[in-house]
A = this chain, B = another copy of it.
Amino acid sequence: MRIGILGSGNVGGTLGRRWARNGHTVVFSSRTPDSREMKGLVQETGPTARAATVAETAHESEAVLLATPWPATRDAVAAAGDLSGKVLIDATNPLLPRLDGLEVGTNTSGGEQVAAWARGTRVVKAFNTVGFNIMANPQFDGAAALLFYCGDDPAAKQAVHGLAKELGFDPSDAGPLTQARLLEPFGLLWISLAFTPGHGREFAFQLLTR
């Protein structure tokens, strides 16, 4: 494929280099395609790669990877010109500047709501990210299903960790209660997949580390 990269940072650079090595034609966009950084990236990527303006990159490509920082995303799309019919791979996240939330999306959660209703209680968000069938048996051929939890009280979290562990889960601390803003959509992701025709509910996630 002819793949254009809008935003040639860590994500765009990594994916562009790897796709080029697989034989795709990769164009990296830049406001300064002749800069030393861009020349270095192109050289490292190989003979099929080149750098171009955003508009040229978009024009030449069948698929366009959008890997810009969120504040630059709108301008990048505008500068790309007509993208009709192309595949636009959106790898952005609408992050707030300090990475502590989403600009487009939620800024509260049911967990925080519960904590406001139950003042003085040590709320731990847990067991909301998989269905009861996984709670009944979190083991997949010897592998333990991941169970995220979050909360603001370390002792309460420790207790919940134990309660999940003894059921056969691999419990994992996702941070403070505000992380419920992320674990609740994670729960809805599980639910939406479980109800997708042909998918079914006998699935969970495992943490891979190295």
Q: Give the chain B neighbours of A205 by CB distance below 8 A.
A: 146, 205-208
Contacts A66-B114, A99-B191, A117-B74; is A127 near B159 (CB within 8 Å)? no
CB–CB B89/A127 < 8 A: yes
Contacts A77-B114, A136-B18; is A182 near B180 (CB within 8 Å)? no
Contacts A85-B122, A91-B126, A95-B188; is A109 near B104 (CB within 8 Å)? yes
The contact string, 1 if C-beta is below 8 Å from chain B, for chain A 187-210, is: 111011101100000111111111
CB–CB A163/B122 < 8 A: no
Q: How many copies does the complex hold?
A: 2
Q: Tell me the chain A residues, 93-142 only, with Cβ under 8 Å from chain B.
A: 93-95, 99-106, 108-111, 113-114, 117-128, 131-132, 135-136, 140-141
Q: Number of residues in A with C-beta < 8 Å to the partner?
A: 104
Chain B min CB distance to A97 (Å): 13
Q: How far is the CA of A176 from the CA of B119 in the complex (A)?
A: 38
Q: Give the chain B neighbours of A78 by CB distance below 8 A.
A: 117
From A8-16, A31-39, A42-50, the one touching the partner chain is A8-16
CB–CB A185/B124 < 8 A: no
